[in-house]
């Protein structure tokens, strides 16, 4: 990345969401509320602060960056290596972006990712495919709702490009 006019090797990591650590393992929490990680952390690979910690150029919640090259327009992380379940966005249930001292910061997704499931037929097809009757009966889904059936990066790559061999 170009950091302050100099080409630098940068170590980056997305802020994934660990749904196994949620206090309430309800259907709404795991599929509608906690749908995504949020933001990124980044630091030059070849430098550190005087005490040896990374000299972060991107991080914090909400996300900030000291470099325009690392500023995020859309900080939600819906696809990540540790994700393994479907999520539904643009529902009646606000999606948690991150937790702050003042409480959860939420949003109503506005992106175009995922597959529309506003119709009864679409909801029924996904309910059968995913073996989840909640998709059919939930009053939290709307005509604008969209499902992201595969959120794991590895699973998405294997599904989209079956001729590639993916290694750890």
Place of tokens 């509608």: 32
In the predicted model, residues of the chain with pLDDT beneath 50 are none
| Sequential DSSP letters for 88-106 | EESSSSPEEEEEETTEEEE
pLDDT of 138 reads 96
Backbone φ/ψ region at 122: left (φ over 0), alpha (ψ -120 to 50), beta: alpha
pLDDT of 11 reads 93
pLDDT of 134 reads 97
pLDDT of 168 reads 62
Place of tokens 């998405």: 156
Structure tokens at 87: 């999520």
Q: What is the pTM of this model?
A: 0.81
């Amino acid at each position: 990345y170009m950091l302050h006019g100099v080409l630098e090797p940068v170590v980056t990591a997305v802020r994934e969401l660990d749904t196994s650590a949620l206090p309430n393992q309800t259907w709404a929490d795991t599929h509608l509320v906690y749908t995504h990680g949020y933001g990124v952390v980044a630091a030059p690979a070849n430098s550190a602060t005087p005490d040896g910690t990374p000299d972060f150029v991107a991080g914090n919640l909400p996300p900030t960056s000291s470099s325009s090259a690392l500023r995020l327009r859309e900080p939600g992380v819906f696809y990540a290596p540790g994700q393994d379940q479907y999520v539904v966005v643009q529902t009646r249930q606000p999606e948690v972006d991150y937790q702050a001292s003042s409480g959860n910061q939420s949003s109503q997704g506005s992106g175009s990712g995922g597959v529309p499931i506003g119709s009864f037929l679409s909801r029924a097809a996904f309910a059968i495919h995913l073996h989840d009757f909640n998709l059919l009966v939930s009053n939290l889904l709307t005509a604008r709702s969209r499902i992201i059936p595969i959120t794991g990066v590895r699973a998405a790559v294997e599904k989209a490009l079956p001729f590639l061999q993916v290694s750890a």
